[in-house]
Structure 1
Amino acid sequence: MTKLTSARRPTGRASAATPTETPPGKRGATAIDLRIHSAVVNAVMSHRLPPGTRLGEAEFCELYQVSRTTVRKALQRLAHDHIVSLRPNRGAVVASPTPQEARDIFAARRALEREIVPLVIRHMTPASLRRIRAALEAEEQARHGGDRAAWIRLGGEFHLLLAELAGNAVMQRFMVELVSRSSLIIALYENPGVPMCGNDEHDQLLALIEQGDAARATALIEHHLLEIEGRLHLGAAERKLSLAEALAGC
């Protein structure tokens, strides 16, 4: 294994998922634990940290020159987002959703998003349509730039935006957890060698929302989620990298 002292340390280079300010819901976070959080999320979404990878506190301390307290804050935040699992007396590992968990999460999303889409249409305004278009443009830019981590993240954020525009705070809270967990599943189990597809179904969904066609839009969102689930290769083994290798350049 490459020694941490000789590994390339994270440079703090900005990326699509690197926060420039404290995001909502992350009050009390410092710049460095947000940076660690962002680096791990990017490494997981880019397939550099496969499920089950151990995330040692000491390695983070050496890589980022920070205290264990700071590292623990970042790991707790990652656990809250279902990116890592914290095991009593054994430390943190990248979460390993089972095939059944993946099926359950996507089934829950289909049930919830079937209710969200008609509410988006009911509450549609010119401003909300502009926000949807802007989200689609950002997603397309990430795809053209080959930034898989940002593409997965922005795809999830598109669905979160719809949940926000539906105007139901309870549904929105459920969607935050479901999107976080399904984005991890997509990143871990969708074949990284397959070219990133376009966001045609997101574009089609916007068109149906603009037309006010709730029935077809609801059918499309269900088909869209089934298609995503159908592309997953659950249980595929991957080579494990050291933490220093996975986070190099993040």
Structure 2
Amino acid sequence: MPSTLPQTPDQDFDAQSIRDALRDAIVDRRLAPGTKLTEGDVGTLFKVSRTLVRAALQALSYEGLVTVEKNRGAFVASPSPEESRQIFATRKLIEPGIVMEACRLIAPSQIQLLRQLLLEEGRLTGERGPTARRAEIKASGDFHLTIAQIAGNAILLRFMEELVARSSLAIAVYGQSVVSSCGHSEHQAIVDALERRDAGAAAALMVHHIDHIEADLDLRERDPTDLKNALGALV
């Protein structure tokens, strides 16, 4: 597990900075759902006490990014199909309002910022490999968070940070193709609507866009697999 995180320079870490580093690794999918986060390993990596690690893991558990199990430890969360549906249902409830408020407040310099993000996202879309894929997913999340920043509501921004992070986990577990990383052309259409200050169109495009992401997730409920049946052709 520690090797999936960036090497840390010699500096003092508190619970918040440890939480931020782990959170970034989870959102970027460098730490996969189900990965065990032992206090000892994380403490050794950051050169801190288990007490600080425990506080960081607890903070991540409040966000739904880490699951803490009694007598087993902490693990990167693996959302259920129903939880994943609820995550995207929540996004469809609040992101249209966010983009409508951004439409009212957005400045030309912020349109330019969004278009710069689209250029980087487009460059990453054309690349291949797990590193580029993770970077593309992060760029897609940053696009949604930037719109939330433009809307100017700090409480909603914090909520969006959690939703985007938990969406990334759902995509990691249930995503079937590159579509789930966020459609680049759909982002462009949203920015065009923001530039026109067409709040109704921006909201409708956002709902369609989130529907598109969710549609690429395989959220079918599955019964536990019988080991003999699963491996019968192999053994």
Instruction: Tell me if both proteins adopt one fold, taking TM over 0.5 as the criterion.
Output: yes
Cα deviations across residues 34-93 of structure 1 (Å, max 9, x unaligned)? 555544554xx25x623x343333344566665434543443343344321122343101
TM-score scaled by length of structure 2: 0.74
> For structure 2, which runs of at least 5 residues remain unmatched after alignment?
223-235
* Partner SS, residue 176 of structure 2: coil
Greater helix share, 1 or 2?
A: 2
Structure-2 change in CA distance of 1:58 and 1:124 (3 Å): closer
The whole-number CA distance in structure 2 between the counterparts of 1:108 and 1:40 is 21
The whole-number CA distance in structure 2 between the counterparts of 1:97 and 1:195 is 16
Residue 76 (str. 1) matches residue 61 (str. 2) = no
The whole-number CA distance in structure 2 between the counterparts of 1:77 and 1:229 is 27
Identify the residue that residue 172 of structure 2 maps to in structure 1: 187
* Partner SS, residue 156 of structure 1: helix
Identify the residue that residue 126 of structure 1 maps to in structure 2: 108
The whole-number CA distance in structure 2 between the counterparts of 1:173 and 1:37 is 14
- Pairing 1:110-149 to 2, within 5 Å after superposition: 110-146=92-128, 147-149=132-134
Structure-2 change in CA distance of 1:119 and 1:186 (3 Å): same
* Partner SS, residue 85 of structure 1: strand
* Partner SS, residue 75 of structure 2: strand
* Partner SS, residue 78 of structure 2: coil
Cα deviations across residues 200-235 of structure 1 (Å, max 9, x unaligned)? 110111111112222222111101000100101237
Kept in 2, the 8 Å contact 1:143–1:198? The answer is no
Tell me the amino acid that sits aligned with residue 109 of structure 2. Answer: A
Give 1:196 shift.
6.3
Cα deviations across residues 92-148 of structure 1 (Å, max 9, x unaligned)? 012121111111111111111111122111112112112212222332333334422
- Pairing 1:217-228 to 2, within 5 Å after superposition: 217-228=202-213
- Pairing 1:8-47 to 2, within 5 Å after superposition: 9=3, 12=6, 29-30=16-17, 35-42=21-28, 45=29
- Pairing 1:173-212 to 2, within 5 Å after superposition: 173-191=158-176, 199-212=184-197
Q: Which moved more, 1:55-64 or 1:163-172?
A: 55-64
Kept in 2, the 8 Å contact 1:106–1:182? The answer is yes
Aligned partner (choices 32, 40, 50) of residue 58 of structure 1: 40
Structure-2 change in CA distance of 1:196 and 1:178 (3 Å): closer
The whole-number CA distance in structure 2 between the counterparts of 1:11 and 1:227 is 31
- Number of paired residues? 218
> For structure 1, which runs of at least 5 residues remain unmatched after alignment?
238-250
RMSD over equivalenced CA pairs, Å? 3.6
TM-score scaled by length of structure 1: 0.70
Fraction of identical pairs, as percent? 40
